[in-house]
Structure 1
Amino acid sequence: MRDVGEVRTTHLLDVVVDLNPPLDMGVGPFGRRILFGAASGSFEGPRLRGEVVPGGGDWTLFRPDRAMTVDVRLTLRTHDDALIHMSYGGRWIVPPELRTDIADPVESRRIDPARYYFRTAPLFETGAEQYAWLNDIVCVGSGYLIEGGVAYKVSQVL
């Protein structure tokens, strides 16, 4: 097999998403579906910054094995008024010993994110010429809970 070198990354942005109250759609054939709607938020990185536009969200699936599948679509508005579509899937795996605390709105924010696995694979789409480079990159993100929502550190894969 050919050596292609190590996968390297560089910081792209940090994003904070303030969430609406969850909408529990109940247990369906694949697990419990809950919509965590995006109410607002912000993002900032070395090459772009701005706000999260209300209306996106995470159509989360809690699988029967208690793992969570993340399915997010957001619209970002940059400081110079460009619109960027951000979508990502991922997994959030909480060890059994943390499940009670993670369900508690106060305790969940006190848990060190290194104790659970919350990873995503963001992709971007935009027609804004100054941000067209986003259309051609792949990213990885690490999520963690914050008061009123969720946050991610997103890195571009080089």
Structure 2
Amino acid sequence: MTADPRVRDVGDIRTSHLFDMVVDLEPRRSFGTGPVGRRVLFGAAGGTFHGPGLRGDVLPGGGDWALFGPDGTMRLDVRLTLRTHDGALLHMTYGGRWVTPPAARDAVADPVRRHRTDPGAYYFRTTPLFETGAEPYAWLNGTVCVGSGYLVEGGIAYKVSQVL
């Protein structure tokens, strides 16, 4: 089969570091296993973010309405409010996948060992989007990002990059 002649080379996808973020989590709330999987809320208790041109706090009240499938894959559904160092509010949403192979599941499930687990032992990727009415940050409204997540003591952390 030959390639479709409409396919063109548009170049490689490039990224630029936007910020690192740590989200402190409240105790999880489990909704149990329903018709599409096991639903768990990981509520945001606060946190911080900082990068070359963007920094501030993660406000309490958001969270991840995660869905665990029968294969152990976690599907993320996250909504957070970020407050920049100069007081602007950013609405941050992202989906993603966290896949933990069977060999790492015991360590990740253990509250004492989970944050010490090598992030290379699992696949944790996100696709952040932003919404704001704050003029200095309006450029974020048209920006697509990608993130890599990992466990930290008391929460979760992400390295977020802007897709250029």
What interval of TM-score do these two structures reach, taking the shorter chain for normalisation? over 0.9
Q: TM-score, normalised by structure 2?
A: 0.95
| CA contact 1:61–1:68 (8 Å) conserved in 2 | yes
Q: Return the index of the structure with the highest Cα Rg.
A: 2
Q: TM-score, normalised by structure 1?
A: 0.99
Deviations 1:16-63 (A, max 9, x none): 000000000100111110000000100011111000010000001011
For 1:25 and 1:55, how far apart are their aligned partners in 2?
A: 18
Structure 2 unaligned spans of 5+: 1-6
> What is the count of residue pairs matched by the alignment?
158
For 1:103 and 1:115, how far apart are their aligned partners in 2?
A: 13
For 1:73 and 1:113, how far apart are their aligned partners in 2?
A: 23
Q: CA deviation at 1:141?
A: 0.2
Identity of aligned residues (%): 70
Q: CA deviation at 1:153?
A: 0.2
Q: CA deviation at 1:107?
A: 1.2
Q: Aligned match of 1:157 in 150, 153, 163?
A: 163
For 2:84 and 2:102, how far apart are their aligned partners in 1?
A: 39
Q: Give RMSD over aligned pairs.
A: 0.6
Kindly indicate which of the two structures has a greater share of residues assigned to strand: 1
**Runs of 4+, deviation exceeding 3 Å:** none
Structure 1 unaligned spans of 5+: none
For 1:94 and 1:64, how far apart are their aligned partners in 2?
A: 12
Aligned to 1:143: 149
For 2:54 and 2:15, how far apart are their aligned partners in 1?
A: 17
